[in-house]
Amino acid sequence: MNISELGTEQTNLASAALDTKTALEIATIINHEDSKVAAAVEKALPQIALAIDAITETIRMNGRLIYVGAGSSGRIAALDAAECPPTFNTDPKTVQYVIAGGEKALTRAREVREDSNTAGVRDLRKLKPNRKDVVVGISASGRTPYTIAAIEFARKQGTKTVAVTCNAHSPLGRAAEIDIVTEVGPEVLSGSTRMKAGSAQKMVLNMLTTGTMARLGYIYGNLMVNVHTKNKKLVERGLTILQQAAGVDEAKAARALKSAGNQVAVALISLKTGLGRTEAGEKLKRTKGNVRRAIESD
């Protein structure tokens, strides 16, 4: 697959002579192209759902979701992984990432590393993927050697594998069991896949982790009941969640949150069931973190 043949590498006629446009014209063109991203993601919803089910089962069985990517794709993966613990109270080991070039690549371009098959295998091997895990390879082109090699290695270990790409029939897609393809087409800045392709990847990863955590019961309704209350804003968010979910006033929500050691989920279970902090916490453990089941079960 030559790079010139990829949909993400074609010339976008809508942005021809972009360097001659006014600021408003440039913003308008980019915005118009960005509006196509959600439609491209929509076409991949069946495959996204398959991946959500696979990841849900994995985490339910104490397995891990491991992202693999290079460049912008790796940075998007790192962002999603980093946001899971404070949002869903997951162990940092539950959702992890591997990026070509290591952590230094998060803030400095190290694109040369993405051509190394050996590095892809070596970096993923350090995490010892097994049959309980899911490895998700992310590459706009779908032909990044580092990511393909990592996915191929994961499959040999019996690990479930998912590809997230923006070009159909890609080597990465063929290497994985589930192929999520969001064909966003040519970028406004030709070949700059940090744009529409990057937006599509971010949307897909949001769906994978949010969908998984919803299936596991780490949220309640559409409320972030496992949010970490580490600063004033997050404490206020926690209080608002308790007021909405339990139908109590702010004062009662504050007392419940304090009694629960600032754990919103435990406070909500206490408010809904009348249980104390210890009993509510134990019930949450018995349901493996499923807040609704903890509230509704005997």
pLDDT tens figures, 39-50:
999 999 999 999
pLDDT bin (cut points 50, 70, 90) of residue 82 is very high
Q: Answer yes or no: 114 catalytic.
A: yes
pLDDT in tens, 115-138: 788 899 999 999 999 999 999 999
Evaluate the CA torsion angle 57, 287, 82, 239 in order and state its sign: positive
The side-by-side arrangement of strands in the sheet containing 160-165 is 95-99, 65-69, 134-138, 160-165, 178-181
Please, are residues 294 and 118 in contact by the beta-carbon 8 Å criterion?
no
pTM over 0.85: yes
Q: CA-CA distances (angstroms) from residue 240 to 205, 233, 280?
A: 27, 11, 20
Instruction: Write down the mean pLDDT value for the chain.
Output: 93
Structure-token pair, residue 298: 């005997």
pLDDT recorded at residue 117: 84
pLDDT bin (cut points 50, 70, 90) of residue 296 is very high
Q: Answer yes or no: 33 catalytic.
A: no
* Pick from 133, 192, 144: nearest CA to 11: 192
* Pick from 40, 48, 159, 37: nearest CA to 98: 159
pLDDT in tens, 90-105: 999 999 999 999 988 8
SS3 assignment, position 165? strand
pLDDT above 90 for 7 = no
* Pick from 162, 110, 116, 163: nearest CA to 141: 163
pLDDT bin (cut points 50, 70, 90) of residue 247 is very high
The domain limits of the chain are: 3-216, 232-296
Residue with the two structure tokens 């940092």:
92
pLDDT in tens, 130-176: 999 999 999 999 999 999 999 999 999 999 999 999 999 999 999 99
pLDDT above 70 for 112 = no
Catalytic residue (one of 5, 9, 25, 114) = 114
The CATH superfamily holding the domain 3-216 is: Glucose-6-phosphate isomerase like protein; domain 1 (3.40.50.10490)
Residue with the two structure tokens 């051509």:
115
The CATH number of domain 232-296, selected from 3.40.50.300, 3.40.640.10, 1.10.287.990, 1.10.8.1080: 1.10.8.1080
**Rounded mean pLDDT, 1-24:** 79
Catalytic residue (one of 9, 57, 83, 279) = 83
pLDDT above 80 for 110 = no
Residue 284 sits at φ, ψ, to 5 deg, of -65, -40
